[in-house]
Amino acid sequence: MKPFTDRHARSRSSTTTLVSSAEQLTQQTAAYFRKGLEGARNTRLAYTADIDGLRDWLHQQGINDLPISSATLATYVSDQATNHKWSTITRRLAAIRKWHRLQGHPDPSADETVKLVLDGIKRSIGTEATQAPAFDIYEYKEQVRPIPPTPTGTRDRALLLVGFAGAFRRSELVALDIEGVQFTRQGAILSYQGSKTNQYGKTEQKALFFSPDPDTCPVRALQDYVSLLERPAGPLFVRIRKGEQITQDRLSDKQVARTVKLYLGKDYSAHSLRASFVTIAKLNGADDSQIMQQTKHRTRTMIDRYTRVQQVVKHNAAMKLGL
């Protein structure tokens, strides 16, 4: 039989381990709690920028720093309403709420005065978000066809065709990797992570299909571009320097917007690729579930938002009055 003192030693060791484990578990729980409050990376970046902007405004008003009172918040949102849309104001308001929650301060937006001011702002400037314009499919194809087969042109053609046929957001486009591209007999499967609506790292996939017209076929355009890269992995869409020197530097989402404007016109944005996919597919008879399979929208409400303007024009009884 082992000495009694050994049992005491084991007991102390066990207690120390339990205490240590309890402390670690508490710290881990707190870390998970904070991460849950902070949200996705892109949201954190946007909120950080919004809080920095608020701090600049506070300093201009002679106010030292956060936290802020409900009266100060009411003044701030009133000032924002003179130059910004409702969507911007609500995002900045969300950032302010989250900062106060993370720091353990009362939410200043819960005050009735702030709610009344926000209601007045909504009634004054409206809440409708500006929609990205959708292009006509024939116009689009005519703009894509003459893109030259230089390295830059080959990349841009693939960017425009994949972005449109895949209904990609610009952040998703630039996040694509070569190893996420799989060519098949029917076309191509693109695998990616970290979309706006998928914040937990789940891999999502989109399908591209061969088109009869080789000049506007997204799969052929992607094959031509991938063959130029001459590597099996890494960023798919990359910067190309002067002299057509292909780099391995991932393209920025701002470059996607510039590319769309360069070829399609200054009235269009990067989001026009996605908006046009929904609109054109809907008008050509695709049902909502088919569209949502590609866009990864979770509700049909967003599909209706994209197609509303076009439906008013193209599916309207006023065209059949015989005037």
- Give the model's pLDDT for residue 14: 52
- Give the model's pLDDT for residue 4: 40
For the segment 243-261, the average pLDDT, to the nearest whole number, is 94
**Boundaries of every domain in the chain:** 32-125, 137-316
Distances (CA, A) of 48 to 54, 121, 272, 310: 10, 24, 27, 37
pLDDT level of residue 136 (50, 70, 90 thresholds): confident
pLDDT level of residue 2 (50, 70, 90 thresholds): very low
Domain boundaries 137-316, CATH class: mainly alpha
For the segment 93-120, the average pLDDT, to the nearest whole number, is 92
Q: Pinpoint the alpha helices (H) of the chain.
A: 4-38, 41-60, 70-80, 86-102, 112-125, 137-144, 151-165, 170-175, 218-229, 253-264, 271-283, 288-295, 300-314
Burial class (CB in 10 A: 0-12, 13-18, 19+), 311: middle
Closest Cα to residue 168, out of 185, 190, 136?
190
Q: Which of these ranges, 167-171, 193-197, 259-263, has the smallest mean pLDDT?
A: 193-197
pLDDT level of residue 271 (50, 70, 90 thresholds): confident
> What single-letter DSSP state applies at residue 235?
B
Closest Cα to residue 129, out of 316, 278, 301, 291?
301
- Per-residue pLDDT for 93 more than 70? yes
| Distance between CA atoms of residues 174 and 166, nearest Å | 13
- Give the model's pLDDT for residue 42: 61
> Which superfamily does CATH assign the domain made up of 32-125 to?
Tyrosine recombinase, N-terminal domain (1.10.150.130)
- Give the model's pLDDT for residue 35: 63
- Give the model's pLDDT for residue 319: 47
Give the residues across from 240 on adjacent strands: 246
For the segment 225-231, the average pLDDT, to the nearest whole number, is 95
How far from chain centre, in Å, is Cα 15? 48
pLDDT level of residue 153 (50, 70, 90 thresholds): very high
Tell me the whole-structure pTM to 2 decimals: 0.64
3-class secondary-structure state, position 238: strand
- Per-residue pLDDT for 92 more than 70? yes
Closest Cα to residue 315, out of 262, 290, 279?
279
- Give the model's pLDDT for residue 34: 62
* Domains 32-125 and 137-316 belong to one CATH topology: no
